[in-house]
Amino acid sequence: MSFLDSIRSRASVRRKRIVFPEASTDPRVAEAALRVAHGGLMLPVVIGARDELGESLDDLSVTAIDPVADADLLDDLADHLFERRKHRGISREQAKEKAREPLYFANLLVATGRADGCVAGASHTTRDVLRAALWTVGPAEGIATVSSSFYMLSARFGVDAGNQDILTFADPAVVRDPTPPQLAEIALAAADARARVVGDRPRVAFLSYSTRGSSDGPAVDRVREALAIFRDRAPDILADGEMQADTALNEAIARRKAPDSPVAGRANVLVFPDLGAANIGYKLVEELGGVDAIGPIVQGLRHPCNDLSRGSHADDIVNVACITALMAG
């Protein structure tokens, strides 16, 4: 079974309520919502009056919630937003106006336990999606840094490739220049998400241009400090660094450069030193290496609210929705 088949199969067992706030305005999202409903993958929720959602969403397998018609629900959600943001000066009327917006309404359903996750970004920027999630859901307990990962699926090994051929790349989309504590939290969130989504044991490599002291510099020191923080906070998760990418992934090179490492040569979570390195890395691998990239997957939130590429197809949206369902719980 391929990884994509696996996440769809496992999502269908969980049957989570996932909100698609852009389904009423974007045909790709509407198609994805119908697919997950008809495939029994989850319980999709769309925002808007059913008679205004369009013919494609006039389907009883899709739950429609109208912010205007359900005044009591809107008031409850606005109260939640007000309590979360009043320290930033938001008024009750401003909170209610914001709660009417489909993106915020959807995230507030998740924040208040009325839904398990949210998928948006087909017609909103990443900044909009993250802002709505942070205003409504907020970071997970013990995590201050919300970040992202891509799941990189290697086509070289065929559709029946095992989990060892799925790599997590973090963070290519959110935190530009992470401090050592932020880098450690990015790694923590990536390891937690991988355990939920891929279902294997995370093996975390903190990447650098240096391997085990082969070079020095402020950037290397930052990675070393991040590893120390990570090990202190998560001693049961296999992690090592600093190491170069070939040491992290190639067992023959790992035996020469880091023979005693529990991670080298077998890493499946690659933590890049900054957003630039991670973003360039995932795009190079995608373009040159015959690799499919799924993401960005937002990690570190209290409940999953994931972002989509604005170039997503319906299949892409279904995949991210299934990952969102697996992250929930």
pLDDT digits (tens, 9 = 90+) for 37-53: 999 999 999 998 766 66
Q: What does the pLDDT read at residue 58?
A: 62
Lowest-pLDDT range, 33-42, 58-67, 135-144, 299-308? 58-67
Q: What does the pLDDT read at residue 123?
A: 92
Q: What does the pLDDT read at residue 164?
A: 45
Q: What does the pLDDT read at residue 307?
A: 93
Q: What does the pLDDT read at residue 158?
A: 39
pLDDT per position as a tens digit, 69-83: 888 999 999 999 999
Outline which parts of the chain fall under CATH 3.40.50.10750.
147-292
**Is the CB of residue 186 less than 8 Å from the CB of residue 176?**
no
Q: What is the CATH number of domain 147-292?
A: 3.40.50.10750
**Is the CB of residue 111 less than 8 Å from the CB of residue 80?**
yes
Outline which parts of the chain fall under CATH 3.40.50.10950.
3-138+303-327
Q: What is the CATH number of domain 3-138+303-327?
A: 3.40.50.10950
Q: What does the pLDDT read at residue 160?
A: 42
Mean pLDDT of 23-33: 92
Lowest-pLDDT range, 48-52, 191-195, 300-304? 48-52
**Is the CB of residue 94 less than 8 Å from the CB of residue 64?**
no
Phi-psi region at 48: left, alpha or beta (left = phi > 0; alpha = psi -120 to 50): left
Whether residue 68 has pLDDT greater than 90:
no
CA 135 to chain centre: 17
- Collapsing DSSP to helix, strand or coil, 111 comes out as helix
